[in-house]
């Protein structure tokens, strides 16, 4: 979380510097083509610049120095963050400084201003509601709403489609936040054409319009070509829509279990979206951050585990199947979920919530990294789900709000597999969390 905040701060500093360098009437120059030769940039400094640089870097600040200067008032919080962003203070010293003053109110995030984002999907009405929940008082507000019918008919040509809610494409490794655009205005969907067997990647907006990325990038072949098979992966934090093109025979078992797993045969692409959500065709290029799709050490993740949020670069929150059974045809039945932390480096799991009478799922980390919000429902009975938070270091869960309607017949499967219920008629809704933010 701290690294994420620092990255945003660095980006702001860079943007300010760029704005200051350009004239008022000019527009930013486009990035050079990949094959264009790199320009030669002088690395020589004037004597004044060199002297200034020596003054800055000759003085190394330790964490204790920062504490002394901050407590004496000679440096404010903003001063310290600026010096970190400009390189005058090392990130290591800053991290240690934060650990030393973490209980001070100036550096603490006001929990009353934070919001937990919750998604309710009612598959009787095909309505998907994205809501913000105040983490202190449980007050709910609707951010966006979508209507995604299980089966749809195109008005233009009468073709019939089956809508598959994207599970963000990449097995259990990508949190469900990536199903939505960063502002929650769009939701990623994969469409299956019943007449041709094509799979189209795209996304819906709140006006029930499907933006067909496969058509926009002119990927549909002729009548005698193999049916195109493109699936939606989701949206990136910097606004790209990511999708994958799969080999012709690769979808035979792709959606078994409601999600699909990345492999090296996929061709993964990204496109930019315009102001009105349209696909900018010329922006299509290979998606180069494949580590987000495949990762390292994932062979150690136990069967049935699902990532719901990342705490830092190596630790994530999981839906962990604590009570399971193997069905006759081999599928894993999950009788009770719980929220656990998984360390990808040590391969260790740690529990956050004790007890065996409730099923708990969809954990997300708070902006300050100290608490985890999660959904919980009684394992037995007819009670609805509730939203709780629990300290990351251990403690009693605190209820934030309740009366969250979920399908009681499949409460142990409502965690993060919405695609499982695209065809379901066994209940009314599922619920999951996507993130905990400081708006």
The pLDDT tens digits of the residues spanning 261-277 come to 456 677 889 999 988 88
Choice among 136-140, 233-237, 262-266, 419-423 with the minimum mean pLDDT: 419-423
Residue 282 or residue 181, greater confidence? 181
Burial of 266 (0-12, 13-18, 19+ CB in 10 A): buried
Q: Quick check: 402 and 388 in contact, CB under 8 A?
A: no
Q: Is the pLDDT of residue 34 over 70?
A: no
Q: Is the pLDDT of residue 238 over 50?
A: yes
- What mean pLDDT comes out for the span 116-133? 90
Choice among 24-38, 123-137, 195-209, 404-418 with the minimum mean pLDDT: 24-38
List, for residues 159-200, the tens digit of each pLDDT value: 899 888 765 444 445 678 888 999 999 999 999 998 888 999
List, for residues 189-223, the tens digit of each pLDDT value: 999 998 888 999 999 999 999 999 999 999 988 87
Q: Is the pLDDT of residue 48 over 80?
A: no
For residue 350, name the pLDDT band (cuts at 50, 70, 90): very high
Choice among 55-59, 85-89, 227-231 with the minimum mean pLDDT: 55-59
Q: Is the pLDDT of residue 70 over 80?
A: no
For residue 421, name the pLDDT band (cuts at 50, 70, 90): very low
Per-residue pLDDT, 187: 94
Of 438, 431, 439, residue with least CA distance to 123: 431
Mean pLDDT comparison of 130-144, 151-165, 214-228, 339-353, highest-scoring range? 130-144
Domain definitions of the chain by residue range: 1-18+50-108, 109-147+297-439, 148-295
- What mean pLDDT comes out for the span 75-94? 79
Q: Quick check: 231 and 244 in contact, CB under 8 A?
A: yes
Residue 32: left if φ>0, alpha if ψ -120 to 50, beta else—which one? beta
Share of the chain above pLDDT 90, in %: 25
In angstroms, the CA 133 to CA 131 distance is: 6
Per-residue pLDDT, 104: 63
Please give, one letter per residue, the 3-state secondary structure of the chain. Answer: CHHHHHHHHHHHHHHHHHHHHCCCCCCCCCCCCCCCCCCCCCCCCCHHHHHHHHHHHHCCCCHHHHHHHHHHCCCCHHHHHHHHHCCCCCHHHHHHHHHHHCCCCCCCCCHHHCEEEEEEEECCCCEEEEEEEECCCCCEEEEEEEECCCEEECCCCCCEEEEEECCCCCCCCCCHHHHECCCCCCEEEEEEECCCCCEEEEEECCCCCEEEHHHHCCCCCCCCCCCCEEEEEEECCCCCEEEEECCCCCCCCCCHHHCCCCCCCCEEEEEEECCCCCEEEEEEEECCCCHHHHCCCHHHCCCCCEEEEECCCCEEEEEEEEEEEECCCCCEEEEEEEEEEEECCCCEEEECCCCCCEEEEEEEECCCCCEEEEEEEECCCCCCEEEEEEECCCCCCEEEEEEECCCHHHHHHCCCCHHHHCCCCCCCEEEEEEEEECC
Provide the token pair at 168: 């963000």
- What mean pLDDT comes out for the span 27-48? 36
Per-residue pLDDT, 36: 33
Residue 22 or residue 344, greater confidence? 344
Choice among 65-69, 322-326, 349-353 with the minimum mean pLDDT: 322-326
Residue 33 or residue 280, greater confidence? 280
Residue 107 CA to its chain's centroid (Å): 25
Burial of 193 (0-12, 13-18, 19+ CB in 10 A): middle
Provide the token pair at 386: 């509730």
């Amino acid at each position: 979380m701290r690294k994420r905040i620092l990255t945003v701060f660095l980006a702001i500093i860079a943007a300010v510097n760029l704005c200051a360098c350009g004239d008022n009437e000019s527009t930013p120059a486009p990035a050079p083509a990949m094959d264009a030769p790199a320009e030669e940039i002088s690395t020589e400094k004037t004597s004044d610049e060199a002297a200034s640089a020596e003054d800055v870097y000759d003085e190394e600040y330790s964490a204790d120095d920062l504490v002394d200067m901050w407590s004496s008032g000679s440096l404010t919080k903003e001063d310290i963050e600026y010096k970190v962003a400009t390189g005058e203070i090392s990130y290591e010293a800053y991290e240690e400084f934060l650990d030393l003053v973490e209980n001070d109110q100036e550096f603490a995030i006001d929990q009353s201003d934070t919001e937990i984002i919750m998604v309710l999907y009612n598959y009787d009405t095909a309505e998907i509601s994205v809501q913000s929940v105040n983490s202190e008082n449980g007050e709910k507000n609707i951010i966006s709403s979508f209507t995604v019918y299980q089966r749809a008919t195109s008005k233009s040509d009468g073709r019939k489609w089956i809508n598959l809610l994207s599970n963000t494409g990449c097995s259990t490794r990508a949190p469900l936040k990536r199903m939505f655009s960063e502002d929650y205005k769009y939701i990623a969907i994969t469409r299956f054409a019943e007449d041709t067997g094509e799979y189209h990647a795209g996304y819906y907006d709140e006006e029930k319009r499907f933006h067909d990325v496969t058509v926009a990038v002119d990927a549909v072949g002729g009548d005698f070509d193999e049916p195109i098979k493109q699936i939606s992966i989701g949206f990136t934090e910097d606004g790209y829509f990511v999708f994958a093109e799969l080999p012709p025979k690769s979808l035979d078992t792709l959606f078994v279990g409601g999600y699909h797993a990345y492999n090296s045969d996929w061709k993964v692409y990204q496109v930019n979206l315009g102001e009105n959500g349209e696909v900018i065709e010329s922006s299509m290029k290979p998606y180069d951050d494949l580590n987000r799709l495949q990762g390292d050490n994932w062979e150690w993740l136990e069967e049935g585990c699902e990532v719901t949020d990342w705490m830092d670069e190596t630790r994530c929150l999981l839906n962990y199947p604590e009570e399971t059974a193997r069905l006759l045809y081999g599928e894993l039945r999950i009788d009770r979920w719980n929220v656990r932390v998984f360390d990808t480096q040590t391969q260790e799991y740690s529990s956050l919530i004790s007890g065996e009478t409730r099923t708990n799922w969809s954990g997300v980390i708070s902006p300050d990294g100290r608490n985890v919000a999660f959904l919980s429902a009684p394992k037995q009975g007819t009670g609805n789900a509730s939203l709780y938070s629990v300290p990351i270091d251990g403690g009693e869960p605190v209820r934030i709000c309740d009366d969250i309607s979920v399908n009681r017949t499949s409460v142990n499967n409502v965690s993060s597999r919405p695609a499982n219920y695209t065809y379901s008629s066994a209940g009314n809704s599922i619920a999951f969390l996507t993130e905990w933010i400081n708006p």
